[in-house]
C-alpha cells in the first residue's frame, strides 16, 4: 500500500504540488500585505510558517482516502487479510512522505523569505518534522469520517481543527523560543509526545471510522 500510494503520487504530481505551491505563495504574499520590514517579519515568521504548514496539510487531508473510496480500493482493504489499521498507517506514511517531508525541507527557504533569525532554523526543521507527521495522523481521522460524504471538506476542517491546535501552538512556540535564545527541547518533547499519542490512536480510529462510513 505504501509503495502503491507513492507511485500514484508520482503520477499525480500536479495534485501533489498544490499544497506546496500554496505554502510558497502565502510566504511570498505576506511581506507584500503586511510589511517588507525585516524586523516585523522576523517577529511573525514562526507563527506564519506554522499556520501555513497547518493549512497546507489540511488542504491535502481530504484526498487521503477519497481516491481509494471512488475506485473501490477501500472496499478491498476491508476484506484483505491484513489488519485495516496497518493499511491505514501505510497510507498516512505515504501522505507524510509526499506532503509533510517536502514542507519541512522547504521551510528554511520560507524562513529566509520571512527574515527568520538564524537561531530559529534548527527548531523550525525539528518541529515541522514532528508536527507535520502528527498533522497527517490526526487528519486521517477526519478524512476517514468524511470519506463517504460528498463535499465533506468543511466538515473535515471542523473535525480536525481542534486536534491540530496543540500541534500548532507547541510547534510555533519551539521556533519562537529558539529565536529568543531560550531552551526549546522541552517543547519539542511535547511535540514528540503528541506524535507518539497520534501514532497509537489515529490508525485504529481511522480504521474504525472507515468501517462505519463504508458499511454503517
Q: Calculate what percentage of the chain has a pLDDT beyond 70.
A: 94
Lowest mean pLDDT among 58-62, 95-99, 153-157, 207-211: 153-157
pLDDT tens per residue across span 126-173 = 999 999 999 999 999 988 888 877 766 677 888 889 999 999 999 999
Q: In this structure, what C-alpha cell is assigned to residue 172? A: 510555533
Confidence check: pLDDT of 192 > 90: yes
Structural domain range at position 53: 2-215
**pTM above threshold 0.75:** yes
Domain count, the chain: 1
The DSSP-derived string for 145-193 is: HTTTSTT-HHHHHHHHHHHHHHHHHHHHHHHHHHHTT---HHHHHHHHH
Reported as a single tens digit per residue, the pLDDT across 24-69 is 787 777 777 776 777 888 888 888 889 888 888 888 888 888 777 7
Amino acid at each position: 500500500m505504501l509503495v502503491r500510494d507513492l507511485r500514484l503520487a508520482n503520477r499525480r504530481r500536479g495534485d501533489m504540488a498544490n499544497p506546496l505551491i500554496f505554502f510558497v505563495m502565502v510566504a511570498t504574499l505576506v511581506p507584500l500585505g503586511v510589511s517588507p520590514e525585516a524586523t516585523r517579519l522576523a517577529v511573525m515568521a514562526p507563527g506564519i510558517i506554522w499556520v501555513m504548514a497547518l493549512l497546507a496539510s489540511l488542504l491535502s487531508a481530504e484526498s487521503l482516502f477519497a481516491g481509494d473510496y471512488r475506485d473501490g480500493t477501500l472496499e478491498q482493504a476491508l476484506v484483505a487479510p491484513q489488519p485495516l489499521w496497518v493499511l491505514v498507517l501505510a497510507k498516512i506514511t505515504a501522505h507524510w512522505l509526499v506532503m509533510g517531508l517536502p514542507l519541512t525541507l522547504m521551510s528554511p527557504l520560507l524562513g529566509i523569505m520571512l527574515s527568520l533569525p538564524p537561531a530559529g532554523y534548527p527548531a523550525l526543521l525539528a518541529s515541522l518534522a514532528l508536527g507535520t507527521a502528527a498533522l497527517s495522523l490526526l487528519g486521517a481521522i477526519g478524512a476517514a469520517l468524511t470519506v463517504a460524504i460528498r463535499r465533506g471538506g468543511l466538515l473535515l476542517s471542523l473535525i480536525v481543527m481542534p486536534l491540530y491546535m496543540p500541534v500548532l501552538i507547541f510547534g510555533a512556540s519551539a521556533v519562537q523560543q529558539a529565536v529568543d535564545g531560550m531552551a526549546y527541547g522541552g517543547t519539542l518533547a511535547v511535540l514528540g509526545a503528541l506524535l507518539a499519542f497520534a501514532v497509537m490512536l489515529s490508525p485504529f480510529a481511522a480504521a474504525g471510522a472507515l468501517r462505519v462510513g463504508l458499511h454503517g
